[in-house]
Amino acid sequence: MKLRKLFYSLFLAASAIVFNGCKEDVIQSCTDSIQNGLEVGVDCGGSCPECFICGTDTVMDVDGNVYKSVQIGDKCLLAENLRVERYRNGDFISAGLSNIAWSFTTSGATAFYEELASNKAIYGLLYNWYTVVDPRGLCPIGWHVPTDAEWTEIIKLLDPSTCDTCEGSYHSRLAGGDMKATGNLIAGTGLWQDPNVDATNSSGFSAIPGGFRNEVGDFYAQGVLGYYWSSSESTTSIGRNRGFNYTSGYAFRSQSFKRTGFSVRGVQD
């Protein structure tokens, strides 16, 4: 306790430097985080970007899950898949839906892969597109799900030859390797199936193969594919996404039924 008080006093003395440009109430929020034993930056990234050091500080969601961050060019992203079970306002996202209920819903819904709660900590949750665009907010305060155009910007920072509008493997044949987590299941060094081609994770994005829940409720491809929603739609029933697989270093631009459950990452506002 004495050590914490000492640390807190030193923190307050330095706050004018650490929180340069932050409003007084935001500084108080950040200092409260220190008192509660949380990391600097947990509550500061959204209200005061100047307080947040991307790649060093972490981000907390409404459920208390804490995520690493990563800087890619001028973009700051979450370096882990979302696993939040509530919207930003505290409302629970629909979960535990049967295949029939999942296939007919046009509201936000989430699922553990194969309904195994143990998958949450490893792979995060799968969300349908309606969850991504719900006005109650899925990402932590100060963060949002990337649009299709923002995904292209991010991927283009890694591969300047990325095709803005191309579908499938023609989008980028290089960025996937830079974004995939390394290692494979057979060697016990990662989550991707062997051979996890070209994976270097040089970007620090750490894409993992969370698989997906298709539009009729069936689960597929954990260990093989990792898909990430964008907040952009293609048609009234189809949304845009980005994908990675274990057999190439490609970053795929594709579209899927909005009822499909994919992984989600956030980008800082």
- Residues 58 and 98 occupy one common structural domain: no
Kindly list the distances between the CA atom of residue 269 and the CA atoms of 20, 47, 91, 163, 167, in Å, as whole numbers in the listed order: 19, 10, 22, 24, 26
* Beta-carbon count within 10 A of 104 CB: 13
Q: Count Cα atoms within 13 angstroms, Cβ side, for 149.
A: 0
For strands 212-213 and 219-220, give the pairing. antiparallel
What pLDDT digit, counting tens, does each position of 93-128 carry?
999 999 999 999 999 999 999 999 999 999 999 999
Among candidate residues 119, 131, 171, the one with its CA nearest the CA of residue 148: 171
98 Cβ neighbours under 8 A, 6+ residues apart:
217
pLDDT at 51: 77
- Give the whole-number percent of the chain exceeding pLDDT 70: 81
> Quick one: 57 and 114 in the same domain?
no
- 190 and 101, same domain (yes or no): yes
Residue 45 corresponds to which amino acid?
G
- What mean pLDDT, rounded, does the chain reach? 87
216 three-state secondary structure: coil
pLDDT at 163 over 60: yes
- Check whether residue 191 and residue 252 sit in a common domain: yes
Domain-embedded: residue 85 = no
> What SS3 class is residue 65?
coil
* 73 shares its domain with 109: no
Q: Are residues 140 and 220 in the same domain?
A: yes
Q: Do 101 and 74 share a structural domain? A: no
Are 30 and 105 contained in the same domain? no
Same domain, 15 and 126: no
Host domain of residue 138: 94-268
Q: How many structural domains are present in the chain? A: 2
The verdict on 71 and 102 lying in the same domain is no
Of 45, 78, 111, the residue at which a domain comes to its end is 78
